[in-house]
Amino acid sequence: MNALSALAGAALILIVLIEGFETVVLPHIVFRRVRLTRFFYRGTWKAWSLMVCGAFAPGRRREIFLSLYGPLSLIILLGLWAALLVSGFALLYYSIAGVFGGAKTGNAGFSGCLYYSGTTFFTLGLGDVLPMAPWAKALTVLEAGTGFGFLAIFINYLPPLNQFFYNRETPVSALSARVGAPVSAFAILDRHIAGQNLDVLHQLLYDWERWASELHESHLAYPVLAYFRSEHEDQSWLMALTAVMDTCAFIMSGMEGACKCQAELTFSMSMHTLTDLSSVFHCPPVRPDSPSVPDSPPVHERLSPGELDHIRLKMLEKGFSGLPDAGDMHKKLAQLRLRYEPYVQALASRFHMAVPPWVRKAQAEK
């Protein structure tokens, strides 16, 4: 029994330390399939989202409760890791005969070992229970150092996580302020194309290529960031990324010149980000014949031929010429959309986020 307790305690400690290192310290994707953290987020997010979406209709209140999950999950995960480490060291203490002495406790059972492990891990040093055996003294020093280092590393992990979040949200908020919310490809094009002066649009696409690259690195290294939601219900990182990709697809299917070259670069980086995020979160792409995703239109209904004609007409009114035939453009655009929209739909379903329209209703009526 003592050997089994020691083995179980050592295994539990090792598992938690590896999980903590991979989640907090290691800055790249971990491909190991069996991970405690992965099971934690899969199970808790599914339960939380089902509870919230079942209790509230789409709207502000539901967004508020969904947005609580990201920060709350970090606190719960920290508590889970700490509880498992305390239990692991308690099993090690329990495996040593005659481990404790003191004013109140002689040879302690597992409950006494658990109490002593907790006070040692959080470096309380109450002194009412004392380690007697040499191995117990060594474990006490080891656990105190582990608890201090573990908590310090986790606390230092929070500031860069917040910085990544702000770096993600600042361009999203700026784009929403510039073109309105929810963002849409038509709003971006309508705002930035005047005559054929495309310098501003070119710069916008360049900035969003860099943004997609930063999103790729930060969200693959720290997937918990994907659960952090924007402040406004009609704004999200996925909506902004989709609208920019829609814009790139429109330019690639009907325009020439430097702006098209930049659109191809931005589209490629964004596509890379989408596919890798879908892989990390195990979200297989949703094809057009699949059931529609909650809170978003099916893939094939996002852009109707009438909406495409509306965008083309408005671009011509802005003074932009050289667009190809509507049929050819629609065919090219449909091929590009099938490359990225299935991944967008999958991630939207996973995180209960809306997919932006190509044309907002208010703009379609103008």
Report d(CA 336, CA 332) in Å as an integer. 6
Residue 248 maps to a domain: yes
88 and 233 housed in the same domain = no
Q: Which amino acid does the sequence have at 20?
A: G
223 and 353 housed in the same domain = yes
Burial of residue 32, with CB atoms counted within 10 A of its CB: 0-12 exposed, 13-18 middle, 19 or more buried: exposed
CA distances (Å), 147 to each of 6, 13, 93, 122, in order? 19, 11, 16, 6
Report d(CA 110, CA 105) in Å as an integer. 12
Q: Are 183 and 243 in contact (CB under 8 A)?
A: yes
Q: What is the pLDDT of residue 258?
A: 63
Residue 207 maps to a domain: yes
Number of domains comprising the chain: 2
H or E element, residue 101: strand 100-101
Report d(CA 116, CA 353) in Å as an integer. 46
Pairing mode of beta strands 100-101, 130-131: antiparallel
Report d(CA 10, CA 302) in Å as an integer. 54
146 and 184 housed in the same domain = no
Residue 8 maps to a domain: yes
Report d(CA 100, CA 103) in Å as an integer. 10
Torsion sign (Cα): 72, 75, 80, 81 = positive
R_g of the chain, CA atoms, integer Å: 27
195 and 146 housed in the same domain = no
Residue 353 maps to a domain: yes
219 and 130 housed in the same domain = no
Report d(CA 289, CA 342) in Å as an integer. 10
Residue 347 maps to a domain: yes
Q: Tell me 357's DSSP state.
A: P
Among 212, 167, 223, which residue's Cα sits nearest to residue 29?
Answer: 223
302 and 188 housed in the same domain = yes
H or E element, residue 131: strand 130-131
Q: Tell me 355's DSSP state.
A: P
- Tell me if the bond preceding 305 is cis, omega within 30° of 0: no
Q: What is the pLDDT of residue 263?
A: 93
Domain hosting 96: range is 2-21+34-154
133 and 189 housed in the same domain = no
Mean pLDDT on 236-251: 94
Could you tell me the two tokens for 201?
Answer: 């649009």
The half-sphere exposure of 299 on its side-chain side, counting CA atoms within 13 A, is 23
Mean pLDDT on 35-47: 88
206 and 345 housed in the same domain = yes
Interior CA angle at 117 toward 111 and 121, to 5°?
150
Whether 298 has a pLDDT exceeding 50, the answer reads no
Which residues on neighbouring strands pair with residue 101, listed in sequence order?
A: 130
Q: Among the listed ranges 6-10, 71-75, 125-129, 293-297, which one has the minimum average pLDDT value? A: 293-297
Q: What is the pLDDT of residue 194?
A: 63
Residue 160 maps to a domain: no
Report d(CA 364, CA 201) in Å as an integer. 22
Q: Among the listed ranges 100-114, 172-186, 254-268, 333-347, which one has the minimum average pLDDT value? A: 100-114
SS (H, E, C) 259-327: HHHHHHHHHHHHHHHHHHHHHHCCCCCCCCCCCCCCCCCCHHHCCCHHHHHHHHHHHHHCCCCCCCCHH
Q: Among the listed ranges 90-94, 146-150, 319-323, which one has the minimum average pLDDT value? A: 319-323
Question: Which of the two residues, 11 and 305, has the higher pLDDT score?
Answer: 11
Among 343, 361, 345, which residue's Cα sits nearest to residue 353?
Answer: 345
Residue 87 maps to a domain: yes
The half-sphere exposure of 93 on its side-chain side, counting CA atoms within 13 A, is 34
> Among residues of the chain, what percentage have pLDDT more than 70?
86
Name the pLDDT band for 104 (thresholds 50, 70, 90).
very low
75 and 195 housed in the same domain = no
The half-sphere exposure of 229 on its side-chain side, counting CA atoms within 13 A, is 21
308 and 347 housed in the same domain = yes
286 and 341 housed in the same domain = yes
148 and 199 housed in the same domain = no
